[in-house]
Amino acid sequence: MTFQELLAFAERHTYLSLALVGLTIAIIYVEIARLFRGYKALRPAELTGLINRDNALVIDLSASNDFEKGHIAGSKSVQPSQFDPENKLLANARELPVVVVCRTGQGSADAAKRLKKAGFTKVFWLDGGIAAWQQADLPLVKGRA
């Protein structure tokens, strides 16, 4: 396809061309914003490495009954309504890697953002949450921590 043919297509299909440009700009914006947000999404395998290598603190924002049904070994349960970066559990962890997890990964991303704003230096969240952990065939511990 030549450049002339591409221009002719764009002229014939103006709305399609504008939609393509708009989507491209949106994707670029999202990717740049992800680079500069200050906290990083982890896949389950990356989280196991961080726990084993750097003794990461894992905060689980799942509801109490969900936490008891299954959670990552060593994780600490904190109810979303009680999540506070100034919490005594988190106060001594400002320099440690802190990983926030929840069932789906949505709530933990927001919590990671709050930790970063509060001055935590190594903040992560489990992309996909406990569901992704289970899909990776990694073990969960039952009961209270």
pLDDT one-digit tens code per residue, 77-86: 998 888 888 8
How confident is the model over 10-43, as pLDDT tens digits? 899 999 999 999 999 999 988 787 667 778 889 9
Sign of torsion over alpha carbons 118, 120, 123, 129: negative
Residue 145 predicted with pLDDT over 90: no
CA angle 55, 50, 72 (to 5 degrees): 80
Percent of the chain, pLDDT > 70? 97
Greatest pairwise CA separation for the chain in angstroms: 66
Residue 40 to residue 80: CA distance in whole angstroms: 20
Per-residue pLDDT at 73: 93
Answer whether 99's CB lies under 8 Å from 77's CB: no
Answer whether 111's CB lies under 8 Å from 100's CB: yes
